[in-house]
Amino acid sequence: MEKIATREAYGKALVKLGAQNPQVVVLDADLSKSTKTNNFQKVYPERFFNMGIAEQNMIGTAAGFAIAGKIPFASTFAVFATGRAFEQIRNSIAYSRLNVKIAATHAGLTVGEDGASHQAILDISLMRSLPDMTVLVPCDGVEAEQAVFAAAAMDGPVYIRLGRSAVPILHAGGDRFAIGKGEELRQGADVSLLACGIMVAEALKAAEELEAEGVSARVLNIASIKPLDVETIVKAARETGAIVTAEEHSIIGGLGSAVAEVLAEHCPVPMERVGIKDVFGESGKPQELLDKYGLTAKDIKAAAYRVIKKK
Amino acid sequence: MEQMIGESELHTTARQIRRDIITMLLEAGSGHPGGSLSAVEILTYLYFREMKVDPADPQWPGRDRFILSKGHAGPALFSVLAERGFFPREELLTFRKIDSRLQGHPDMRKTPGVEMSTGSLGQGFSVANGIALAGKLDKKDYRVFLMLGDGEIEEGQVWEASMAAAHYKLDNLTAFLDHNGLQIDGPVTEVMSPEPVADKFKAFGWEVVKIDGHSFPEIRQAIDHAKKTQGKPTMIIAETVKGRGVSFMENEAGWHGAAPNREQAEKALAELV
């Protein structure tokens, strides 16, 4: 299966978007080679602004560009974008409802060897709690590109969560992606596996193995964490009676929490959350970390069996 | 579109704005008189003499931009905007009240003429940089004006933004430092001294001018100097008096964030005639 990191897709998408829309400007905080905004810089140097290692100022400057009618994309590692500059995002972007796109890379444990200081495991939680913020977590390169174009097409703040490691391409091209819509990747009746980002491929793998063992698992790709596709989630809960969420993020505040909120209010059914269990990560190879912290198809499968038992 | 008035009229306007500040704070029962009163001449000069703005079309793309990074001086900005015709003066009495367009700190989504929502210190500076950078990119001739407090520059973001403004040679950006010397807990030099401020901004690559921030001719000269300065932003260090114009509020840190009661307000208004 062909693989590409969502950050790679982001860099390429920016170049395409820059050609279509002269209002697009890109800001980075000395990580342009890693976030892949250097792709844009090479083609449109006059519209690229390196803000140095100063994330708070980068976010505020992006807000100023938006006031002046530009469509700024601001990029750095997710841990710094959403943590270091959180209050700037809150007050200068979200509260003012400015048209800034924060595209943050190196999210989750798959940052790998750099270790816990660089692994964003709370970013979805932080961004999801901000009024007026749209939160997108694409699962592959195709969806990452579509998320970039969808973000640019809407007026308002958007957070796009991107990864460092290459992940399988699950989608064909086309204009499928829509903010606020979940995507059914696989039908199923016994349990629903709701995943985002790199965990979507793992959920599909888990569903295949479950099928071989006689369990029919539905797989939903929830790339739009906010707004959330409540209808599709409630339908899955009603029709399958058991839910597993899977995310490369803390089980507190991310996809699992968002889905739990929907289920508690609209259709309480047994649920399990696969994610980082309220701990920090560590250095290691991405796959070693995913294995150690329980973020694999095997973990999703085990959670599926546990939750089915509770039905 | 441009409203030109003479210096004596500027003084009259400034006095009216001070009266409005006192009245709206009395009515609100809370707010920040000290740092509002210290900024009055600068704001009055900008909106009545310098800036190209259109109260009938606050979002006019060609407008000059003003960012009040020290957002707690909102009463001064609101009074000036009302006086300039952006919204009715009677609305000042709704300041800080439920459903009002005049929030405790400026909100760009609610108040006509407010360029950016501020209140969390240091943040307006970066936003001003972004607007100035966009102006350069689009070859627009609008100018960006910024006001910082001297307590505010204790924020780290201020120095990130200072570095960036000089790095990108933002000569279309003119900043005022409302150097009134006091912050909530006392004199800035005692709480966390940012001095020497002129040397710091010079070292960061800025053109630096020092003026009496209550003198209209000095404000005018400093802005003219900034407009002639090429290749770098200008910081106008405006020596001001916190609480200026109300004898018992002047140079008193206690009047940073306390509203006058009726008796105090009447005394203040009696001085502002």
* Residue A241, number of CB atoms within 10 A of its CB: 18
Nearest CA-CA distance, residue A65 and chain B, Å: 5
pLDDT confidence of residue B112: 98
Residue A212 lies in a domain: yes
My answer on whether A230 and A265 are in the same domain is yes
Residue A112 and residue A165 in contact, taking contact as beta carbons nearer than 8 Å = yes
Mean pLDDT along residues B207-214: 98
Last residue of a domain, one of A111, A141, A168: A168
Q: Check whether residue A205 and residue A161 sit in a common domain.
A: no
- Same domain? For A67 and A145 the reply is yes
- Chain B positions touching A69 (Cβ under 8 A) are 61, 134
A175/B237: higher pLDDT: B237
Mutation to test the A interface, candidates B114, B160, B163, B172, most A Cβ within 10 Å: B160
- Domain spans of chain B? 7-271
**In chain B, how long is the greatest CA-to-CA distance?**
53
| Closest-CA residue of chain B to A88 | B123
Q: Which residues neighbour A50 within 8 Å (Cβ) at sequence distance 6 or greater?
A: A27, A28, A29, A30, A32, A41
Q: What angle do CA A99, A87, B94 make, to 5 degrees?
A: 80
Res A172: pLDDT: 87
Residue B5's pLDDT band (boundaries 50, 70, 90)? low
Is A161 part of a structural domain of the chain?
Answer: yes
Identify the CATH number of the domain in which residue A223 sits: 3.40.50.920
Q: What is the pLDDT of residues B64-122, one digit of tens each?
A: 999 999 999 999 999 999 999 999 999 999 999 999 999 999 999 999 999 999 999 99
| Pairwise CB contact (< 8 Å): A69 & B61 | yes
Give the pLDDT of residue B1.
Answer: 39
Tell me which chain A residue has its CA closest to the CA of residue B123.
A60
**Residue B6 confidence (pLDDT):** 80
Choosing from A168, A203, A225, the residue where a domain stops is: A168
Residue A159 is predicted with a pLDDT of 98
Grouping H, G, I as helix, E, B as strand and the rest as coil, residue A27 is strand
Closest residue, chain B, to A67 (C-alpha): B131
Cα dihedral B84, B88, B94, B95 in deg (nearest 10): -10
Burial of A279 (0-12, 13-18, 19+ CB in 10 A): exposed
- What residues in B contact A84, CB-CB < 8 Å? none
Is residue A124 located within the same domain as residue A222?
A: no
Say if residue A158 is in the same domain as residue A254.
Answer: no
Number of domains in chain A: 2
Residues of A with CB under 8 A from a CB of B: 25, 46-47, 49, 51-52, 54, 56-70, 72, 87-88, 91-92, 95-97
Q: How far apart are CA A184 and CA A171, in angstroms?
A: 12
**pLDDT at residue A1, as a whole number:** 79
Does residue A173 form part of some domain? no
Burial class of B216 by CB neighbour count within 10 A (0 to 12, 13 to 18, 19+): buried
Q: What is the pLDDT of residues B24-79, one digit of tens each?
A: 999 999 999 999 999 999 999 999 999 999 999 999 999 999 999 999 999 999 99
pLDDT tens, residue order, chain A (311 aa):
799 999 999 999 999 999 999 999 999 999 999 999 999 999 999 999 999 999 999 999 999 999 999 999 999 999 999 999 999 999 999 999 999 999 999 999 999 999 999 999 999 999 999 999 999 999 999 999 999 999 999 999 999 999 999 999 999 877 789 999 999 999 999 999 999 999 999 999 999 999 999 999 999 999 999 999 999 999 999 999 999 999 999 999 999 999 999 999 999 999 999 999 999 999 999 999 999 999 999 999 999 999 999 99
pLDDT given for residue B2 in this prediction? 44
**Does the residue A177 lie in any domain?**
no
The answer, for B125 touching chain A at a CB cutoff of 8 Å, is yes
Report the residue count for chain B: 273
Q: Are residues A161 and A24 in the same domain?
A: yes
Last residue of a domain, one of A117, A145, A168: A168
Q: Does A193 lie in the same domain as A151?
A: no
Question: Mean pLDDT throughout B119-136?
Answer: 98
Q: What is the CATH number of the domain that holds A30?
A: 3.40.50.970
Based on the fold, state whether residues A210 and A259 are members of the same structural domain: yes
Report CB contact under 8 Å: A72, B164. Answer: no
Active site residues of A: 55
Which of A61, A62, A28 is CA-nearest to residue A42?
A: A28
For A4, the 3-state DSSP assignment is strand
In a domain, A174, yes or no: no
CATH class of B7-271: alpha beta
Mean pLDDT of the region B13-24: 98
Residue A293: give the domain boundaries. Answer: 183-309
In chain A, what's the furthest Cα-to-Cα distance? 59
Pair (A242, A146) in one structural domain? no
Same domain membership, residue A246 and residue A300? yes
Q: Is residue A158 part of a domain?
A: yes
B162 touches chain A (CB under 8 A): no
For residue A63, what is the nearest residue in chain B, using CA coordinates?
Answer: B127
Residue pairs spanning A and B at CB distance below 8 A: 103
Nearest to A46 among B125, B126, B137 (CB): B137
Nearest to B164 among A57, A67, A88 (CB): A57
H or E stretch covering A255: helix A255-266
Q: Tell me the chain A residues in contact with residue B122 when contact means C-beta distances shorter than 8 Å.
A: 56
Contact B111, B78 (CB under 8 A): yes
Choose the mutation target among A67, A71, A95 for the interface with B, i.e. most B CBs under 10 Å. A67
